[in-house]
Amino acid sequence: MMTAPHPSILDERDRGGPAQSLLSVNALVKHFPVKGSGFFGRGGVVRAVDGVSFEIRKGETLGVVGESGCGKSTTARLLMHLIQPDRGEIIFDGEKVGIDLPLSEYRRQVQMVFQDSYASLNPRLTIEDSITFGPRIHGMAETAARAKAHDLLARVGLDPSRFAGRYPHELSGGQRQRVNIARALALDPRLLILDEAVSALDKSVEAQVLNLLQDLKADFGLTYMFISHDLNVVRFMVDRVMVMYLGTVAELGDGEAVFAAPSHPYTAALLASMPKMDPAERTIEAPLTGDPPNPINPPSGCRFHPRCKLAEPVCASILPPLTPSAAGTSQAACLALVPQSGHSHADRLAMPPLDPESEPMPEASA
């Protein structure tokens, strides 16, 4: 599904060539403090994002999935610097954001489309003014900005003569989300972060917007980070998929490979929960039980072990590293995949052995 960047986008902004990842995230951490109760109550921290690392390749769509509260949207906001990370680094096309690459230039090249199409638009601005606001802030002349706004409205399927002068409350949800997409494109970004961008739309409108996103990706040479709960939509859209659980990465790999043969028990449970059209494939037993643990006091070792059917005592004491699958199409953080980890399933799986010169697996903190 991955398409080559459009020739018009291959300009001086591309610093590392097609082999270099567009975005690299290393050990990203964000903890939110929580006040204690009473005079002597001890506060804690919500470990919303806890050591997340991944890359987004140029021209691809990376899907991000997981239960509510796993850290998907927080990760997106950290990438946009809407909230500041506690630790970790973000590298955009080989340049560290905020050090080698100024934040203002980074934000020109990375834009975001939010889930709530109404709340993300200023109700006092017309559609035209909303789209032109960003380019004008970045120095574009008003006439050129308005011409670009009209062109983008047409590109997303809205007639500028009818919609440019309207206000957000005069549009449907699907029309507002098209406006948000046009506004995100106004600064000629290279990476578009789509945070549940179609989840609030009717299915027929959702399909239209998804097809529009695919067309725009090809026309503008875009790269997408696509966050969604709808696994069917994710499978349709993405080249690779990242599965998050309780602020960490559970699995990361090729989209079709992960959907066909997931390596992590949590990924398998998520996929098993997808609705089936065939009555013979109805789910009789719940693939996943219980709620995610408290992110203020997550379990030791593997964070999924309290809900995992493959859990053994070793899972509570060792933090599993991301380990390549036997096919080399994905990585999963599960001790059952790591030879000599102490898990009874490990030695039965044809996984590459650990490098004896690599660092040992970290012991879990209490």
Lowest mean pLDDT among 6-20, 156-170, 275-289, 332-346: 6-20
Report how far residue 127's alpha carbon sits from residue 124's, in angstroms, rounded to the nearest whole number.
10
- pLDDT the model gives residue 283: 73
Q: What pTM does this model have?
A: 0.88
Report how far residue 156's alpha carbon sits from residue 81's, in angstroms, rounded to the nearest whole number.
27
Report how far residue 71's alpha carbon sits from residue 318's, in angstroms, rounded to the nearest whole number.
22
Quick check: 32 and 46 in contact, CB under 8 A? yes
Report how far residue 8's alpha carbon sits from residue 163's, in angstroms, rounded to the nearest whole number.
28
Q: What residues form DSSP beta bridges with 47? A: 31
Q: Pick the closest to residue 296 from 42, 8, 20, 38 (CA basis).
A: 42
- Condensed to tens digits (0 to 9), the pLDDT of residues 255-265 reads 999 999 999 99
Q: What residues form DSSP beta bridges with 34? A: 44
DSSP 8-state class, residue 35: P
Lowest mean pLDDT among 51-60, 243-252, 253-262, 350-359: 350-359
Q: In angstroms, what CA-CA distances link 327 with 3, 27, 323?
A: 23, 25, 12
Q: Pick the closest to residue 132 from 113, 114, 120, 150 (CA basis).
A: 150
- pLDDT the model gives residue 18: 86
Across the range 121-145, mean pLDDT stands at 95
- pLDDT the model gives residue 105: 92
Q: What letters, b where the CB count within 10 A reaches 16 and e where it falls short, cover 311-342?
A: bbebbeebbbbbbebeeebbbbbbbbbbeebe
- pLDDT the model gives residue 10: 52
pLDDT at 7 over 50: no
Residue extent(s) of CATH 3.40.50.300 domains in the chain: 20-34+45-245
Q: What are phi and psi of 225, to 5 degrees?
A: -115, 115
Across the range 122-142, mean pLDDT stands at 95
Q: What is the 3-state secondary structure (H, E, C) of 146-158?
A: HHHHHHHHHHCCC
pLDDT at 209 over 50: yes
Across the range 314-337, mean pLDDT stands at 89
Q: What are phi and psi of 201, to 5 degrees?
A: -100, 155
**Is residue 24 exposed (0-12), middle (13-18) or buried (19+ Cβ within 10 Å)?**
middle
pLDDT at 326 over 80: no
Helix/strand number for the chain, H first, E second: 10, 12
Give me the chain's average pLDDT, please: 88
Lowest mean pLDDT among 36-40, 42-46, 163-167, 236-240: 36-40
Q: What percent of the chain has pLDDT over 90?
A: 70
Give the total residue count for the chain: 366
Quick check: 24 and 96 in contact, CB under 8 A? no
- pLDDT the model gives residue 347: 65
- pLDDT the model gives residue 348: 62
Signed CA dihedral, 54, 186, 168, 231: sign only: negative
Structure tokens at 356: 């004896």
- In degrees, rounded to 5, the angle at the alpha carbon of residue 337 between the alpha carbons of residues 335 and 343 is 45
Alpha-carbon dihedral angle through residues 132, 79, 18, 251, given to the nearest 10 degrees = -140
Across the range 151-156, mean pLDDT stands at 97
- pLDDT the model gives residue 44: 86
- pLDDT the model gives residue 250: 96
Residue with tokens 């609030």: 200
Q: Which amino acid is at 75?
A: T
Alpha helices in 94-172 (DSSP H): 103-109, 127-137, 142-155, 160-163
- The yes or no reply on domain 20-34+45-245 and CATH 3.10.450.40 is no
- Condensed to tens digits (0 to 9), the pLDDT of residues 327-358 reads 788 999 999 888 888 888 876 654 444 443 44
- pLDDT the model gives residue 40: 58
- In degrees, rounded to 5, the angle at the alpha carbon of residue 174 between the alpha carbons of residues 82 and 143 is 70
